[in-house]
Chain A
């Protein structure tokens, strides 16, 4: 038993001895005799970066569920009260802004939303789930999608949300389609970061 304790003690001592050696370099007495101190300058030039994407990638096609209690015979499926909802998508953001500049995230469609269609977008969390730094403050109001950009997140400065679903800002899409039509080919919902 004593032997085991001794071995354990030696092991712990060894562990503490092999820790990386450090020195108080602020104390000249550590190096003025038989040593020296000097420095070089490391020059670095970093670029600004602002990127935003919608997760999951690569295919972020979404499907909508309908509350059966809103179905009405003779009306299109997505025409019911409240429309159909989807909460599968997340916005991820990485931003390095200069000085005190902040960026906004905005959303718009690349084509007019067809008549009879209504697409509403809402961010469910005010602040990023996970992440580090200033990743912005989301409005939790509902926005109706159109070709005119709507600002959905403000005050994005230097930070990152981390990558993937369940990181960043969760989106809720609500679709009402009273005419029973389809979205045109090439219809896109565009998210972008713009300087405030």
Chain B
């Protein structure tokens, strides 16, 4: 009987910590911008302009991921009662020819949402931290929505995750203004 109760207790605890996969919303600041200056331009004839790379500020661009509020529950409540691992995949659309855009974030960047919850004292699937891929080094973003690349993952809802970009544009890229969509696709899972 004791063993039976123990199993029920573990089950209830697991359920209350993991809950169920609920719909969430991704919030973001404005996207990165890059306006090339003469100092950024290739200066040696014969070389490609892509040999010169430009980095955005480390926290110029941020994203936030929170579970949506329910009819009777707040977003904070849902994020506290439904802790899952979220993987973030990125890809580009409408990028000009010759653009190489890389992205990265940093170990445990951003903040937990809510800041402290009961899950933190019994982190079933790990602490609510952020884990960058590639050791936090830059990852080239593909212009292929069927093969979006994983850039980082985090456990639980998370606010203000900084994304840093590095851009290199070949001379094959059209001069003037271009707009490229940077897509973030977040998937929730247990592993």
Chain A interfacial positions (CB closer than 8 Å to B): 20-26, 30-49, 51-53, 55, 92-98, 131-133, 158-164, 167-168
12 sampled A-B residue pairs with Cβ under 8 A: A24-B145, A24-B148, A26-B146, A31-B186, A36-B24, A40-B184, A45-B34, A46-B176, A49-B171, A133-B171, A163-B44, A163-B45
A20-B133, A20-B150, A158-B172 known; A94 vs B181 contact (CB < 8 Å)? no
Does B32 sit at the interface, judged by CB under 8 A?
A: yes
Number of contacting residues on B, CB 8 A? Answer: 72
The A interface, classified by DSSP as helix, strand, loop or mixed, is strand
The B interface, classified by DSSP as helix, strand, loop or mixed, is strand
Chain B interfacial positions (CB closer than 8 Å to A): 21-38, 41-49, 61, 63, 65, 84, 86-87, 89, 91-93, 96, 99, 101, 133-134, 139, 145-150, 165, 167, 169-189
Choose one: B25, B33, B145, B189; the contact of A42 (CB below 8 Å). Answer: B33
Q: Which residues of B contact A32 (CB under 8 A)?
A: 23
Shortest CB-to-CB span from A114 to chain B, Å, is 29
Contact A48 B175 (CB under 8 A): yes
Residue of B nearest to A30 (CB): B187
Q: Which residues of A contact B87 (CB under 8 A)?
A: 21, 23
Q: Which residues of A contact B48 (CB under 8 A)?
A: 94, 132, 160
Contact B146 A24 (CB under 8 A): yes
